[in-house]
Amino acid sequence: MTPVHQAAVYDSDQRFLAMALPFVRDGLAKGDPVMAVTTSANLGLLRDALGQDGLLVDYAESGFLGRRTVERITAFHRY
């Protein structure tokens, strides 16, 4: 399985959730491992919006995976 990296641009909490929720729910429905990587504020929004399904998602703040692209890609591959 080839890892897929997704990125999105948004300008409000509502637009973030409009993009993130379908993507996360689709991954969960397929039985895929799902890791959400974003700011702590967005992680909270996502967790709250997912309810019980949020327990099935792995969460990480963006900075936790490293600042450089190579560090982040390595972290995604390890995941």
- The predicted structure's pLDDT at residue 6: 62
Contact 32, 57 (CB under 8 A): no
Residue 1 pLDDT > 70, yes or no?
A: no
- The predicted structure's pLDDT at residue 8: 77
* Contacts with 33 (C-beta within 8 Å, 6 or more apart), sequence order: 27, 58, 79
The whole-chain average pLDDT of the chain stands at 87
pTM, entire model:
0.76
**Residue, of 3 and 37, whose pLDDT is higher:** 37
Least confident of 9-13, 14-18, 39-43, 64-68: 64-68
